């Protein structure tokens, strides 16, 4: 099980952060070095054991466990470390979070907090995969280039509650994912919460394998077990424990290999 620390006791020299931003710099996010290091370890273990599939789905049992964050962090780590072409695809029309994760509130570091934290800037209205499936846009029109030459993002777009089940189970969506697999070395799928909507079961089947994101101290073990049971039709790479709090003394932490 991979544990993503929210606060690390010490930062090793190799734990450098990675930033991702779209080409016009309106959306940007910096992923902390310790988290990148742990995702790098997970991806490297899968790579050297030849178990890193072309299509990886990221899902959770419940909403708000950090699936979009983990998908983006994994995508930028994979693109940065391998030099391969990577596409992060958002398939969550119920609660899309990819663009929101690239639009965090302004940092308050280095200044005294006065009142509530300022809200993030308004999100731009961007078309995505839903518009491609409805014939309203082409794939090239909705793909977002980033500051990494090999990394592209594909937002979910907008779909009504009536449209979502049909899109999730359509032959057009499967054909589109097949096209992405031909154009990119790795396709990472940002999926909805398994226990929130049955569409996830159909969407998960588009991946070669899935990883389940679990927020430390939040998700009941019974919900994790139910989610794993629901996606048993897809190989499961493992469970990613997100925002884990590890209270390790600094002197001990220095003795633990980070790579």
Dump pLDDT digits (tens) for 133-187.
Answer: 999 999 999 999 999 999 999 999 999 999 999 999 999 999 999 999 999 999 9
DSSP string, 151-170: EEEE------TTTHHHHHT-
Q: Would you state the pLDDT for residue 78?
A: 97
Q: Give the pTM.
A: 0.86
pLDDT, average across residues 188-198: 97
Q: Quote the crossing angle between the two packed helices 33-48 and 67-82, to the nearest 10°.
A: 70
Question: In angstroms, what CA-CA distances link 183 with 25, 51, 140, 187?
Answer: 24, 20, 11, 9
d(CA 156, CA 174): 15
For residue 194, count CB atoms less than 10 angstroms from its CB and return exposed for 0-12, middle for 13-18, buried for 19 or more.
buried
Q: Which of 20-34, 40-54, 111-125 has the lowest mean pLDDT?
A: 111-125
pLDDT in tens, 103-145: 987 764 445 556 676 777 788 779 999 999 999 999 999 999 9
What is the CATH class of 2-23+34-104+126-253? alpha beta
d(CA 33, CA 40): 10
pLDDT, average across residues 182-197: 97
pLDDT exceeds cutoff 60 at 13: no
Longest dimension (CA), the chain: 58
Q: Would you state the pLDDT for residue 148?
A: 96
Q: How many residues does the chain have?
A: 259
What is the pLDDT of the chain when averaged over all its residues? 88
Q: Would you state the pLDDT for residue 1?
A: 61
| Secondary structure class of 57 (helix, strand, coil) | strand
Structure tokens given for 252: 């001990």
Number of helical (H) and strand (E) elements in the chain, helices listed first: 10, 10
End-to-end CA distance of the chain: 15
With a pLDDT cut of 90, the percent of the chain lying above it is 74
pLDDT, average across residues 47-54: 93
Helix-strand-coil split of the chain, %, nearest 5: 30, 20, 45
pLDDT, average across residues 52-60: 97
pLDDT exceeds cutoff 60 at 24: yes
pLDDT, average across residues 223-231: 96
Q: Would you state the pLDDT for residue 251?
A: 43
- Number of Cβ within 10 Å of residue 232's Cβ equals 9
* Contact (Cβ atoms closer than 8 angstroms) between residue 148 and residue 76: yes
pLDDT exceeds cutoff 70 at 259: no
For the chain, what are the domain ranges?
2-23+34-104+126-253
Q: Which of 46-60, 111-125, 218-232 has the lowest mean pLDDT?
A: 111-125
Q: Would you state the pLDDT for residue 247?
A: 45
Find all residues with CB under 8 Å of 34, minimum gap 6, and list them.
5, 8, 11, 15
pLDDT exceeds cutoff 50 at 255: no
């Amino acid at each position: 099980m991979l544990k993503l620390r929210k606060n690390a006791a010490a930062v090793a020299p190799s734990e450098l952060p990675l930033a991702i931003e779209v080409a016009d710099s309106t959306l940007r996010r910096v992923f902390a070095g310790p988290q990148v290091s742990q995702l790098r370890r997970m991806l490297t273990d899968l790579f050297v054991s030849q178990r890193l599939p072309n299509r990886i789905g990221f899902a959770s049992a419940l909403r708000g466990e950090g699936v979009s964050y983990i998908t983006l962090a994994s995508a930028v780590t994979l693109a940065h470390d391998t030099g391969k072409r990577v596409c992060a695809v958002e398939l969550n029309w119920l609660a899309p979070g990819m663009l929101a994760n690239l639009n965090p509130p302004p940092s308050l570091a280095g200044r005294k907090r006065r009142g509530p934290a300022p809200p993030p800037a308004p999100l731009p209205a961007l078309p995505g995969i839903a518009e491609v499936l409805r014939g309203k846009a082409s794939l090239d029109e909705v793909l977002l280039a980033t500051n990494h030459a090999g990394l592209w993002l594909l937002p979910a777009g907008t779909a009504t509650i009536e449209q979502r089940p049909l899109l999730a189970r359509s032959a057009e969506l499967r054909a589109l994912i097949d096209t992405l697999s031909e154009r990119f070395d790795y396709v990472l799928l940002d999926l909805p919460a398994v226990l929130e909507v049955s569409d996830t079961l159909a969407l998960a089947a588009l991946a070669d394998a899935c990883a389940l994101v679990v927020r430390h101290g939040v998700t009941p073990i019974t919900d994790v077990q139910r989610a794993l049971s629901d996606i048993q039709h897809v190989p499961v790479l493992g469970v990613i424990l997100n925002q884990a709090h590890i209270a390790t003394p600094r002197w001990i932490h220095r003795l633990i290999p980070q790579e």
